[in-house]
């Protein structure tokens, strides 16, 4: 039988990664009084949080993530949630926009934005935008 990628044991949501340490998130860090919740309440919260964490891994097949990238995304998303940010907007934070630069940058140039404005809109550095414009590489 294949190893489960996600598991939920009481208040612990765990994501397994091939060749890397498992990542466990304790819902008590988010809900300090979760021990007083019913089994149904705890399960509903656990499954909602698990789904929210899993959603961050949804990418097009041609942009497949490595196991380390998956682990980093789940860890960062859990940190966002613990910081009180259930929804993180594209272009904000360390993950940058969900739209590839090769699609986004030409549209922003056509809209009249310069490198500095594009950098601000995408969450990237001006240097990275200039490099992308010169080489086409992210």
Q: What is the pLDDT of residues 22-80, one digit of tens each?
A: 999 999 999 999 999 999 889 989 989 999 999 889 888 888 889 999 999 999 999 98
Beta strands 6-9 and 12-17: pairing type? antiparallel
Q: For residue 6, list its beta bridge partners.
A: 15
Q: For all residues of the chain together, what is the average pLDDT?
A: 83
- In this structure, what token pair is assigned to residue 48? 């909602």
Give pLDDT, residue 90: 46
State the pLDDT confidence band at 1, using cuts at 50, 70 and 90: very low
Percent of the chain with pLDDT over 90: 38
Spell out the long-range contacts of 99-106 with Cβ–Cβ below 8 A and sequence spacing 24 or more: 100/63, 100/138, 101/132, 101/138, 102/136, 102/138, 105/129, 105/132, 105/133
> Phi-psi region for residue 40, left (φ > 0), alpha (ψ -120 to 50) or beta?
alpha
> How far is the C-alpha of 17 from the C-alpha of 23, rounded, in Å?
8
With DSSP H G I counted as helix, E B as strand and the rest as coil, what are the percentages for the chain, rounded to 5? 50, 10, 35
Q: Which residue has the higher pLDDT, 103 or 26?
A: 26
CB neighbour list of residue 137: distance below 8 Å, 6 or more residues apart: 131
Place of tokens 């988010």: 30
Give pLDDT, residue 138: 75
Query: Which stretch of DSSP H or E encloses residue 12?
Result: strand 12-17
Give pLDDT, residue 91: 42
Model-wide pTM > 0.75? no
> Of 133, 107, 137, 134, which is closest to residue 121 (Cα–Cα)?
107
């Amino acid at each position: 039988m294949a190893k489960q990628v996600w598991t939920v044991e009481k208040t612990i949501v765990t994501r397994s990664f091939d060749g890397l340490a498992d990542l466990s998130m304790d819902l008590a860090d988010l809900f300090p009084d979760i021990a007083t919740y019913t089994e149904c309440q705890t399960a509903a919260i656990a499954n909602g949080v698990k789904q929210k964490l899993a959603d961050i891994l949804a990418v097009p097949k041609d942009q497949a993530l490595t196991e380390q990238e998956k682990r980093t995304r789940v860890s960062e998303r859990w940190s966002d949630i613990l910081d009180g940010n259930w929804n993180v907007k594209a272009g904000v934070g360390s993950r940058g926009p969900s739209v590839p630069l090769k699609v986004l940058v030409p549209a922003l140039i056509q809209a009249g934005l310069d490198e500095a404005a594009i950098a601000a809109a995408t969450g990237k550095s001006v240097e990275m935008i200039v490099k992308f414009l010169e080489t086409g590489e992210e």
